[in-house]
């Protein structure tokens, strides 16, 4: 790791990329996007073998999304300007945007290529060098991405990918004095350690996306309850629930609670769980045995707290040797129950009834997280009030998921700070420098 950080520092300081004209950086990033699209199937299969995501989803969410992200920032990089301050006639005030230097990036196992691109593309577009550490269990697609970047003309040393355990390689990256900014997606416990490592080293800026316990709020006046149930099912069960923005808490107006849960259960029963490389599988595997056992532990605790396992709750397909879990719906959940407070990161949905708009808002904001949310209602005023009232970085209305690169993704509270995606992602990767000139 020390050699990788030093190589990134040398590459940045000598200007082989940081001082390359924007048009030159743009060409390289577009070539990377082209290669990601050309190798989409191979890259998706690499990722599926690592993390168990169903192939149909992986094709879109991994190489497809990553290619779009590189192309977005390739086009954006020469459209970000400095500023001229309003001053007296005998003074010129300029605000320059300069690359921060060396960016350390640590990404998780659930969507390594997509989330890796969210970090890499804007950091590289801004002229920085990057040291990337993938998750221990999902590094294959990112190692291939590094090869693609080199083959597409990214200069040596500008991108360095180092695999290894978080407690060793991740700690070394976070403690490095060669790293100016650290970006991370993962658990809150690891995020806290990264902040400590920053304080123990060079006070590098640290940006964290730490997951969530996102509420999906369904009112009785939702435009189409059948559609709401179908979309909500995929909002929690796709990729076996291993999605940071997953709608893992379902809040349902009491008057439609039983009917909506029945609709949702019917949708969940239709989903085919199986081999993620089988194109007929709609839901793939759990990432690891440790993750599966953790999911099952949450279900066991829910039973002890008096919650009702309305659907699922068990491991399936054990004879295959894989780690699979059936879609699980848990009802009679109070807002303070463990299953409503802690992130499971599995195909487990906690359902809570509410009686009024005020009640829904109180329950939606009853966790320490604030990453994403959903609201289903035909009442425009109610929708606006919920968007304003729910503490979350992203609020979906009459849908769940699907936001593209034109809008930011970031959280509040213990879901982290800073933003991926959109032009706002550049904020992490530029320094502002003022020039104040007496004329």
pLDDT in tens, 188-227: 999 999 999 999 999 999 999 998 999 999 999 999 999 9
How high is the pLDDT of residue 53? 95
Angle (deg, nearest 10), helices 65-76 and 112-125: 10
pLDDT bin (cut points 50, 70, 90) of residue 404 is very high
How high is the pLDDT of residue 27? 98
| Residue 3 CA, distance from chain mean position | 28
Tokens of 429: 């990767």
Tokens of 340: 């409503």
Coil, strand or helix at 222 = coil
How high is the pLDDT of residue 180? 98
CA distance 9 to 412: 32
How high is the pLDDT of residue 365? 98
pLDDT bin (cut points 50, 70, 90) of residue 375 is very high
Coil, strand or helix at 168 = helix
Tokens of 343: 């992130």
Tokens of 11: 């590459």
CA distances from residue 276 to 128, 267, 380 in whole angstroms, order as listed: 36, 19, 39
CA distance 429 to 424: 10
Angle (deg, nearest 10), helices 22-38 and 40-51: 70
Whether residue 405 lies inside any domain: the answer is: no
**DSSP H or E stretch at residue 337:** none
How high is the pLDDT of residue 144? 98
How high is the pLDDT of residue 188? 95
Looking at the fold, whether 47 and 116 belong to one and the same domain comes out as: yes
Looking at the fold, whether 175 and 222 belong to one and the same domain comes out as: no
Looking at the fold, whether 69 and 120 belong to one and the same domain comes out as: yes
Query: How many CB atoms sit inside 10 A of residue 404's CB?
Result: 11
How high is the pLDDT of residue 186? 96
Domain enclosing residue 273, as ranges: 215-397
Mean of per-residue pLDDT scores for the chain: 97
Nearest CA to 327 out of 306, 310, 308, 304 is that of 310
Looking at the fold, whether 106 and 239 belong to one and the same domain comes out as: no
3-state secondary structure 5-45: HHHHHHHHHCCCCCCCCHHHHHHHHHHHHHHHHHCHHHHHH
CATH number of the domain that 7 lies in?
3.40.605.10
How high is the pLDDT of residue 13? 98
CATH number of the domain that 356 lies in?
3.40.309.10
For residues 12-35, average pLDDT: 98
Q: What are phi and psi of 290, to 5 degrees?
A: -60, -45
CA distance 416 to 185: 9
Looking at the fold, whether 247 and 146 belong to one and the same domain comes out as: no
Whether residue 146 lies inside any domain: the answer is: yes
How high is the pLDDT of residue 102? 98
pLDDT bin (cut points 50, 70, 90) of residue 126 is very high
In the chain, the percentage of residues whose pLDDT exceeds 90 is 100
Half-sphere exposure of 235 (CA within 13 A, CB side): 31
How high is the pLDDT of residue 385? 98
β 205-209/181-185 pair status: parallel
- Bridge partners for 420 per DSSP: 409
Kindly write down the DSSP assignment for every residue of 377-428, as one continuous string. -S-HHHHHHHHHHS--SEEEESS-S---TTS-B---GGGBSS-BSSGGGGGG
Looking at the fold, whether 304 and 320 belong to one and the same domain comes out as: yes
Looking at the structure of the chain, the number of domains it has is 2
Angle (deg, nearest 10), helices 140-151 and 40-51: 150
Whether residue 7 lies inside any domain: the answer is: yes
Looking at the fold, whether 379 and 262 belong to one and the same domain comes out as: yes
pTM for the complete prediction?
0.96
Whether residue 9 lies inside any domain: the answer is: yes
209 is catalytic: yes
Contact assessment for residue 69 and residue 118, using Cβ atoms and an 8 Å cutoff: yes
Tokens of 345: 């990161």
Whether residue 183 lies inside any domain: the answer is: yes
Looking at the fold, whether 242 and 376 belong to one and the same domain comes out as: yes
Coil, strand or helix at 334 = coil
Whether residue 199 lies inside any domain: the answer is: yes
Whether residue 35 lies inside any domain: the answer is: yes
Give tens-digit pLDDT for 242-274: 999 999 999 999 999 999 999 999 999 999 999
What dihedral do alpha carbons 224, 227, 232, 237 form, nearest 10°? Answer: 160
Looking at the fold, whether 202 and 249 belong to one and the same domain comes out as: no
pLDDT bin (cut points 50, 70, 90) of residue 393 is very high
Give tens-digit pLDDT for 39-65: 999 999 999 999 999 999 999 999 999
Looking at the fold, whether 126 and 17 belong to one and the same domain comes out as: yes
Catalytic residue among 62, 209, 326, 343: 209
Q: Using alpha carbons only, what angle is made at residue 15 by residues 9 and 19, rounded to the nearest 5 degrees?
A: 130
Whether residue 373 lies inside any domain: the answer is: yes
Looking at the fold, whether 198 and 247 belong to one and the same domain comes out as: no
Looking at the fold, whether 246 and 201 belong to one and the same domain comes out as: no
How high is the pLDDT of residue 434? 98
Tokens of 189: 């416990």
The DSSP letter of residue 313 is -
For residues 114-131, average pLDDT: 98
């Amino acid at each position: 790791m020390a050699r990788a950080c030093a190589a990134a520092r040398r590459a940045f300081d000598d200007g082989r990329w940081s001082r390359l004209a924007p048009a030159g950086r743009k060409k390289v990033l577009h070539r990377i996007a082209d290669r990601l699209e050309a190798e989409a199937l191979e890259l998706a299969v690499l990722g599926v073998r690592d993390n168990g995501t169903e192939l149909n989803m992986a094709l879109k969410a991994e190489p497809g999304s990553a290619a779009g992200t590189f192309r977005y920032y390739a086009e954006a990089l020469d459209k970000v300007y400095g500023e001229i301050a309003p001053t007296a006639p005998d003074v010129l005030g300029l605000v320059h945007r300069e690359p921060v230097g060396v960016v350390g990036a640590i990404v998780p196992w659930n969507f390594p290529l997509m989330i890796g691109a969210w970090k890499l593309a804007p950091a590289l577009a801004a002229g920085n060098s990057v040291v990337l550490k993938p998750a221990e269990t999902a590094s294959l697609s990112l190692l291939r991405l590094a090869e693609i970047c080199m083959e597409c003309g990214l200069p040596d040393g500008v991108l360095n990918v180092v695999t290894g355990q978080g407690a060793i390689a991740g700690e070394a990256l976070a403690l490095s004095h060669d790293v100016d900014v650290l970006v991370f997606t993962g658990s809150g416990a690891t995020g806290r350690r990264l902040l400590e490592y920053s304080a123990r080293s060079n006070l590098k800026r640290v940006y964290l996306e730490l997951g969530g316990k996102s509420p999906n709020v369904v009112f009785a006046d939702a435009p189409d309850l059948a559609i709401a149930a179908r979309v909500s099912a995929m909002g929690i069960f796709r990729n076996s629930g291993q999605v940071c923005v997953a709608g893992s808490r379902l809040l349902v107006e009491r008057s439609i609670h039983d009917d909506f849960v029945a609709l949702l259960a019917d949708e969940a029963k239709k989903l085919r769980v199986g081999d993620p490389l089988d194109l007929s599988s709609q839901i793939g595997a759990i990432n690891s045995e440790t993750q599966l056992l953790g999911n099952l532990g949450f279900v066991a605790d829910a039973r002890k707290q008096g919650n009702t396992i309305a659907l699922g709750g068990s491991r399936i397909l054990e004879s295959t040797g894989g780690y699979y879990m059936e879609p699980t719906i848990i009802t009679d959940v109070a807002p303070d129950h463990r299953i409503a407070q802690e992130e499971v990161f599995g195909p487990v949905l906690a359902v809570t009834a509410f009686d009024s708009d005020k009640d829904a808002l109180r329950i939606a904001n009853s966790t320490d997280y604030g990453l994403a949310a959903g609201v289903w209602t035909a009442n425009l005023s109610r929708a606006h009030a919920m968007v304003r009232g729910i503490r979350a970085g992203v609020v979906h209305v009459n849908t769940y998921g699907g936001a593209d690169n034109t809008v930011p993704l970031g959280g509040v509270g213990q879901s982290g700070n800073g933003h991926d995606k959109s032009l706002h992602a550049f904020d992490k990767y530029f320094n502002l420098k003022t020039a104040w000139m007496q004329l």
